[in-house]
A = this chain, B = another copy of it.
Amino acid sequence: MSDPAPPLEGFAAHDHRRCRTETLAVAERLSTERGLKLTPIRRRVLEILLEGHRALGAYDILHRLAQDGLGSQPPVAYRALNFLRDLGVVHRIEKLNAFVVCTHPRDAHVPAFLICRKCSSVAEASAPSQGGLLGAAAQAGFAIETSVLEAEGLCPDCQG
């Protein structure tokens, strides 16, 4: 499924240790706010995704969980992933059937992803205006609930 790819941490350099702790803190807070818990399994899944800004398949994550003795059946991984998605700290990349951490939870945003087809690293950019789609939707009488933009190509590191 996923390459033995390099531990690339997103395209732009950033303080990843801080990125990590902050995301975990946000997840913790959002869980509590909703009267729910960031259990060991859920926390671990988030940590795994936080290791790099790369898309991981549910089964990749599941294998990691199994190594840690935290569960080995598909529903375990999917439940945790869906929980984190509801929280808004994880997004699903439709093109890859895979999942990534959100680089800016909290903000309401229309996620836009730059997906490297070689190393599966993913950069997330808020899509400003959805490129006029809202207008087209309104005109058609369509009520948009969620939307995503996914762009595939080559990241800086993979263009050589």
Closest to A125 in B: B136
Q: A4: CB under 8 A from chain B?
A: no
**Is A145's CB under 8 angstroms from B141's CB?**
no
**Is A133's CB under 8 angstroms from B125's CB?**
yes
Contact size range, A: 35 or more
* Complex interface: stretch among A64-72, A79-87, A146-154: A146-154
Chain B: minimal CB distance from A94 (Å): 3
- Which of A11, A114, A151 counts the most chain B CB atoms within 10 A? A151
**Is B133's CB under 8 angstroms from A112's CB?**
yes
Complex interface residues of chain A between 1 and 46 (CB less than 8 A to chain B)? 11-12
- Which of A112, A149, A150 counts the most chain B CB atoms within 10 A? A149
* Residue interface bits A113-138, CB-to-B below 8 A is 1, else 0: 01011000001010111111100110
